[in-house]
Structure 1
Amino acid sequence: MTTIESQRSAMVESQLRARGISDPHVLDAMATIPREAFVEDDDRSRAYEDRALSIAAGQTISQPYVVALMLEAARLTPEARVLEVGAGSGYAAAVAAQICAHVHAVEFHAELADLARGRLATLGIGNVTVINADGSQGLSDFAPFDAILVAAGVDEAPDPLKRQLTVGGRLVIPLGDTRSQALCVIERTGPEDWRETSLGGVRFVPLVGEHGR
């Protein structure tokens, strides 16, 4: 096992499993996808630290625990139709794609969308489609989705995202202002009904777009 593989294995054990992440699919996917391939070159040696890291366009790649928490909260299955809003470097989409047949990942910043596509292609991950668009509006052409993951904070969950869930589908999104955010799970329980629960405090960059900040 190489040094970087040892760091990845240690991350799974100390940052994820020890903190309550138990979904075997999530743990296996996090142990498989090389996070160092999705960070800036200067940060490759810090890829498995318990922290977010800066990427291009003033954005960040979330800390490993937060990625795992979101994926576990989404209750992904191999058959799930998944939308990620805020693809960033492509890391979370790559991890989700280890579990699901296909992931649609939307990124507002063209520079990041291009970088994510390149990184995914280099790793041979072909079941992620990265789209440069306003993710706050979702992707109505491909809806409904069983899970929607939003990697940016907003005051209230955008209505288009809520309505692009299947009944029983789950939207995982940071809600709150720039000073205080909580990672929330919004489950669609009926055609006009949603149930919201909080997983605790987080800090994300703002969601940009028509239904963002």
Structure 2
Amino acid sequence: MIAGFDEREGFAAFLLRLRGKGAVPKPLIAAFEATPRPAFISGQFHSIAWTDRMLPIECGEAMEGADLQAAVITALNIEPGHRVLEIGTGSGFTAAVMARLAARVVTVDRYKTLIELAKQRFEALGITNAFARHADGSNGLVNEGPFDRIIVWAAFDALPRFLLDQLSSGGSVIAPIGPEEGEQVLAKLIKVGSRFEREDIGTVRFQPILPGVAAII
């Protein structure tokens, strides 16, 4: 729950920014409020936890700004019965938020350290329907689908059509698409029969998706 003064103030400012961009679903606000963002980052960044700044985390990675995370989770339109796949666990924060909206969240990352920390954070918060896996997510998670929603926090250089095979009918995937250098388009793909409909949400700058898992960390 929202605890310290700085965090309450930061969270209030975050909500104001979200509402300034349009209507915010009440379940989403409740999910964010119930997930203490500072618990997912180093203490030196607690005062700016709810800003839209990218924040450093372990393994040389970074956590996306709160506003972008909220925009993506809003666009996913997660419903209570949904199964969600997240590729790129990072700190575990977005998986924790989505777990409060969905039936089940499976999150994968190539870094074992990030997976172990995410598991510890889920357990500390009493989240029992989010499952962190140390795995190569560059091809999705073939044996665990179908999923109703898929979110990818790394960029593909071309449309990831193979992820549509892991979606349920009417399901959707959000992924950055574009070159390694420069901006990428954040695209939402909705599965309609054997094809998909595409809606571009905005532009982002993400690291390219990497195959395999990290050998040591």
> Structure 1-normalised TM-score?
0.91
The answer to whether structure 1 residue 198 and structure 2 residue 200 are counterparts is yes
Output the amino acid matched with 1:182.
V
The answer to whether structure 1 residue 175 and structure 2 residue 177 are counterparts is yes
Q: How large is the RMSD of aligned CA atoms in angstroms?
A: 1.6
The corresponding residue for 1:53 is: 55
Moved more, 35-44 or 125-134: 35-44
1:34 to 36, 51, 64: 36
The corresponding residue for 1:133 is: 135
The corresponding residue for 1:187 is: 190
Cα distance, 1:164–1:59 mapped onto 2, change above 3 Å = same
Contact 1:12 1:27 survives alignment (8 Å): no
The corresponding residue for 1:155 is: 157
Secondary structure of the structure 1 residue equivalent to 2:9: helix
The corresponding residue for 1:13 is: 15
Secondary structure of the structure 1 residue equivalent to 2:8: helix
Give the CA deviation at 1:171.
0.2
* Paired positions, count: 209
Secondary structure of the structure 2 residue equivalent to 1:82: strand
Contact 2:7 2:46 survives alignment (8 Å): no
Runs of 4+ residues deviating >4 angstroms:
none
Give the CA deviation at 1:88.
0.6
Structure 2: how far apart are the matches of 1:87 and 1:123?
16
Instruction: Please list the CA deviations of residues 133-176 of structure 1 after superposition, one character each: whole Å capped at 9, or x if unmatched.
Output: 01122122220111001111121233332210111101011111
Secondary structure of the structure 2 residue equivalent to 1:186: strand
Cα distance, 1:108–1:121 mapped onto 2, change above 3 Å = same
Structure 2: how far apart are the matches of 1:196 and 1:27?
27
> Structure 2-normalised TM-score?
0.90
Moved more, 5-14 or 48-57: 5-14
Cα distance, 1:6–1:104 mapped onto 2, change above 3 Å = same
Give the CA deviation at 1:49.
1.7
Q: How high is the sequence identity, in percent, across the aligned residues?
A: 34
1:2 to 1, 4, 10: 4
Give the CA deviation at 1:97.
0.5
Give the CA deviation at 1:15.
2.5
Could you list the runs of 5+ residues in structure 1 that have no partner in the other structure? none
Could you list the runs of 5+ residues in structure 2 that have no partner in the other structure? 213-217
Q: Write out aligned runs for 1:23-102 (5 A).
A: 23-102=25-104
